[in-house]
């Protein structure tokens, strides 16, 4: 199985991989190369989500996609919180290439308010949290609707996380199995 590379040009998405910067929960870059990959089945659903967002004047901003198993261990070691991170011994949907973390941007490239930042490990990040501004609740439900219509499942604790249904049927992959190294 080979992963498909996702680029701005090929998929009309904004790629802002948080783990390729120091702006993540570890405080340092985890990815050496900001390359974005997905399993072919997940890539097909991403294409559908992009197509659904376009007539609304929206685009997708990707924070993470395939996450090598080595990266999952680094995140887990920094914050072993099973409410927000998959235990690498069980494997993450990201490490299988079948999960994506994303938000929405408008035609001018402005992020839509989602009530919290990406990777805010707090109950305010839960999809159905009503303690955030009403506009942010609407934006979360808009993202949920687009992604669900495109065939994605969601994780209730993270407004930004979507994955394929039955994600555990896919094998966990390491950095060596990526088309080009990430780490």
Catalytic residues: 158
Between the alpha carbon of residue 11 and those of residues 16, 58, 69, the distances in Å are 14, 13, 25
Q: Say how many Å lie between the first and final Cα of the chain, rounded.
A: 20
Structural tokens at position 147: 């992604």
| 159 contacts 125 by C-beta, under 8 angstroms | yes
DSSP letter at 32? S
CA–CA distance, 135 with 76 (Å, rounded to integer): 32
| 75 contacts 18 by C-beta, under 8 angstroms | no
Buried b (16+ CB within 10 A) or exposed e, 95-121: bbbbbbbbbbbeeeeeebbbbbebbbe
């Amino acid at each position: 199985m080979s992963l498909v590379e996702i680029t701005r040009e090929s998929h009309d998405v904004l790629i802002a991989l948080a783990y390729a910067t120091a702006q993540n929960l570890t405080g340092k870059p985890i990815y050496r190369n900001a390359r974005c990959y997905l399993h072919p089945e997940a890539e097909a659903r991403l294409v559908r989500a992009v197509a659904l967002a376009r007539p609304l004047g929206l685009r997708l901003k990707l924070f993470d996609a395939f996450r090598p198993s080595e990266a999952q261990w680094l995140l887990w070691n920094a914050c072993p919180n099973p409410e927000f991170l998959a235990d690498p011994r069980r494997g993450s949907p990201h490490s299988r290439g079948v999960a994506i973390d994303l938000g929405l941007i408008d035609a001018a490239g402005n992020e839509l308010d989602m009530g919290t930042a990406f990777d805010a490990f707090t109950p305010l990040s839960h999809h159905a949290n009503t303690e955030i501004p009403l506009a942010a609740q609407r934006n979360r439900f808009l993202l949920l609707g687009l992604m669900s219509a495109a065939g994605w499942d969601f994780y209730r604790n993270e407004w930004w996380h979507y994955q394929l249904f039955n994600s555990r049927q896919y094998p966990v992959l390491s950095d060596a199995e990526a088309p080009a190294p990430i780490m």
